[in-house]
């Protein structure tokens, strides 16, 4: 996928359609300054905007290859446009993630994108590893990298909520002891 060509087109249309979105996944890690190779885009969108997103994606020759209440996945006819995955926010916790998202400049300031905050990236990764035990090593590595990179600037109360929601109390305590406040 050519992010520099694809993102301005899609984001312009999202903004015109008033789609509430935030970048998540590997591209969001890059916004934090954590480099990770990624071949696709991942977004959190307001579930009320799923229809608007479908229209935008169709405009750029994407086909919806998977859709549930929680997610939708689009694949383009061209490698240039690649694959884009969407998580549908409809619960209070994910809608709060959208509300906390902040604008980040990309491509030498040529584009501004809403990106979830570091704590919410951690929360999504805790959910991913709770849903698929095979992802534990990968997701914990990313969580530790975020915690190390953002050391001293994280809302540990919010991070604790995510870990406890998925019954990962021991893992939270270990992470906070290593990277956060100890009191």
Question: Of 31, 130, 38, 146, which is closest to residue 84 (Cα–Cα)?
Answer: 38
pLDDT digits (tens, 9 = 90+) for 107-157: 888 889 999 999 999 999 999 999 888 888 989 999 999 999 998 899 999
Angle at the Cα of 171 (from 170 to 177), degrees rounded to 5? 90
Widest CA span in the chain: 53
pLDDT in tens, 35-47: 876 778 999 999 9
Q: Give yes or no for a contact between 162 and 126, defined as CB atoms under 8 angstroms apart.
A: yes
Question: The domain 3-116: what is its CATH number?
Answer: 3.30.460.40
Q: What does the buried/exposed string (b/e) look like for 8-42 if buried means 16 or more CB atoms within 10 Å of the residue's CB?
A: eebbebbeeeebbbbbbbbbbbbbbebeeeeebbb
The pTM of the full predicted model, rounded to 2 decimals, is 0.90
Distance of CA 31 to the CA centre of its chain: 11
Extract the runs of DSSP E, i.e. beta strands, from 14-154: 21-24, 41-46, 62-67, 71-76, 83-89, 102-106, 111-115
Sheet containing 102-106, strands listed edge to edge, beginning at the edge strand earlier in sequence: 62-67, 71-76, 83-89, 41-46, 21-24, 111-115, 102-106
Q: What is the mean pLDDT of the chain?
A: 92
């Amino acid at each position: 996928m050519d992010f520099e060509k694809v993102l301005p087109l899609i984001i312009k249309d999202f903004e015109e359609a008033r789609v509430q979105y935030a970048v998540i996944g590997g591209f969001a890690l890059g916004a934090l300054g954590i480099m990770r190779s990624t071949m696709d885009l991942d977004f959190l969108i307001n579930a009320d905007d799923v229809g608007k997103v479908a229209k935008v994606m169709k405009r750029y020759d994407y086909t919806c290859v998977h859709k549930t209440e929680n997610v939708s996945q689009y694949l383009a006819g061209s490698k240039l446009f690649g694959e884009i995955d969407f998580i549908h926010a409809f619960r209070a916790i994910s809608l709060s993630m959208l509300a906390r998202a902040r604008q980040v400049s990309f491509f030498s300031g040529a584009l501004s994108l809403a990106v979830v905050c570091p704590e919410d990236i951690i929360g999504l990764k805790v959910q991913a590893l709770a849903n698929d035990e095979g992802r534990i090593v990968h997701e914990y590595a990313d969580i530790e990298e975020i915690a190390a990179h953002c050391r001293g600037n994280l809302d540990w109360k919010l991070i604790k909520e995510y870990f406890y929601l998925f019954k990962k109390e021991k893992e939270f305590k270990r992470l906070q002891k290593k990277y956060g406040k100890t009191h």
